[in-house]
Structure 1
């Protein structure tokens, strides 16, 4: 809720989006000067003012100016409320748009697209060359910064796709270091439980990375990545519901529930656990009005058995 985040448009020259009604004439739409204005191009225009030249990065600009969408122009900000500017995240697979974003994050007060492609008086043919000459693509720094930012705004599934795009299109030199630092972020939706399940989660993530790499005719062995455990590649993989169960995170709160069971709850708990551990199948029916601790007891039983490595699938029925 606070501070406000201003999302900043990012587009290549003459590739911005235009909105219009279906009954409008296309020629009239293209001839309308208002449709040539964008948040980014007006940022360039503002930087032509001498006192602003070379002063602000694109992401810093909303702290001092407000974008008026109806007029498509930047005006000085009146309020002192803090705002954060964020340029749309771009995958390295998008090529020039990705390198344009890198330049905008490092070059203050650019006046045009050509300005960004000009270094030491030399005008280069594309944004990638300009970024390289400015030293913004040294080693894996730009890839590392890309992943750090993506971890704060993207879901794990998107992070996995981004990681694969980086492997295929950016050819990073230290793949294993990137893996070691970011693999936990890429598998957050798999959950975390006891330490014995960490290998399962790692193999599940590698399997997904392998599937995504296949789309580009690449393999895990083409990169410095861990190998998938052979046992994990069984001809009869676990059903999805059991995979999800194995990756459920056991909270410390649930593990401590056993210390707070009352006498009746403890009696029921011991009966259920004994039946399971002695492999004596039974059906237990727990009855009681709302608020007597039935759910508390269920949580305790589930946490205790999952801690022991048991596969517990919790379901419910309704009439």
Structure 2
């Protein structure tokens, strides 16, 4: 339906008004549920006060004081024809809020003399103060400083000086500390839109000593070792290596039986697979039917020891430690590859017990 001249005039006037100015020119007719141009009287429009800790509501209020003629929420959050994901982002693009550079610099300066624990408390205090316009940006710029002491603390706590943590794990530990600090003051990271939340599942395995031992390797030296091993492989060894690694990388699963007389390089292939998988921060489980064979693979142990196979095994035997929720079960679930060296030396009942 086409608009008449009067409606077109009203729409043109509305397009030039801020949200708070609208009542000065228009009157809301309740029965008709329609805004009409004000013909007499005078009214002052105003916006209800919204404190900074209200998140998106606070930033929407800021935008309403700067956007003229919005017809919907998308109009409020549109800057130069770009629809922002959040009102906070829209405020930032219009320069209505700061870039938090002074707070980022403050954390970096404090890192020269303060511990990671102190910096995490500083960050949580800044969050609670409502001073940070873009807390996610501050976090991304400073998380390495905020988690500076995490690795040392975990090594000492777990009594594992060789422990290595990924960036994701470092972030999670730092976020858990920040969340604990906020909760002590009646707040939480969930109140700050865009801030990542700690994922307890990412670091839960740190309570499992079997998993921790399987991950505690120097990834850089293992990558270098793997490069040397690959350059020394024969075509036949490379073919076996590639087929197994392809199944591992694509999560296809599978059972491989590699055989050959002594000196053909079977153990060399195991070591190469081991260095490749562990260099990627994944778990490689190496077991052997004899103690001597187990010592030839880094981190190798006997099958009876690692898999809890009974000494007097029979057709009814089971591995008592492989049960839901146990540390050994978690280790096997997370393992990318399990090598069983000298397998033909083991009774078939042992394999049946493990299966």
Q: TM-score range by the shorter chain?
A: 0.3 to 0.5
Say which one has the larger Rg.
2
